[in-house]
């Protein structure tokens, strides 16, 4: 499969949380790479398929979290431990600014 990414990815291993939109239940995951447009996240216990939306909660340097609505592009692996390829869909201006700060620090 050809790589169709639009932005370069930064490899890392960072704790994140995933949730269904509108849900207060957060599942712990690990971001394996991240970019301006998406991330790859390993998460146990998330029962989701390609095309579904999730909220990604990334840690921010100020101790809060950056919440991003994302669409699952691809699911790899077997339940309960899957790797989710995510594309960001919606990000408020303040979270976008904080995400830029995080990515610039990692580059």
pLDDT of residue 1: 44
- Per-residue pLDDT tens, the chain, 107 aa: give them: 445 546 678 999 999 999 999 888 899 999 999 998 999 999 988 889 999 999 999 988 888 889 999 999 999 998 888 999 999 998 888 888 888 888 887 76
Name the pTM for this structure.
Answer: 0.86
Could you tell me the sign of the dihedral formed by the alpha carbons of 57, 47, 78, 28, in that order? Answer: positive
Q: What's the CA dihedral at 26, 32, 33, 34 to 10 degrees?
A: 10
Alpha-carbon span 64 to 97, nearest angstrom: 13
pLDDT of residue 15: 92
pLDDT of residue 4: 55
């Amino acid at each position: 499969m050809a790589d169709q990414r639009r932005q370069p990815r930064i490899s890392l291993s960072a704790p994140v949380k995933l949730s269904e939109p509108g849900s207060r239940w957060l599942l712990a995951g690990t971001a394996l790479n991240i970019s301006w447009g998406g991330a790859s996240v390993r998460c146990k216990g998330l029962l989701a398929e390609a095309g579904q939306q999730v909220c990604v909660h990334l840690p921010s340097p100020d101790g809060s979290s950056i919440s991003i609505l994302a669409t699952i592009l691809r699911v790899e692996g077997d339940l309960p431990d899957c790797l989710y390829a995510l594309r960001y869909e919606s990000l408020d201006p303040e979270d976008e600014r904080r995400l830029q700060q995080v990515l610039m620090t990692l580059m």
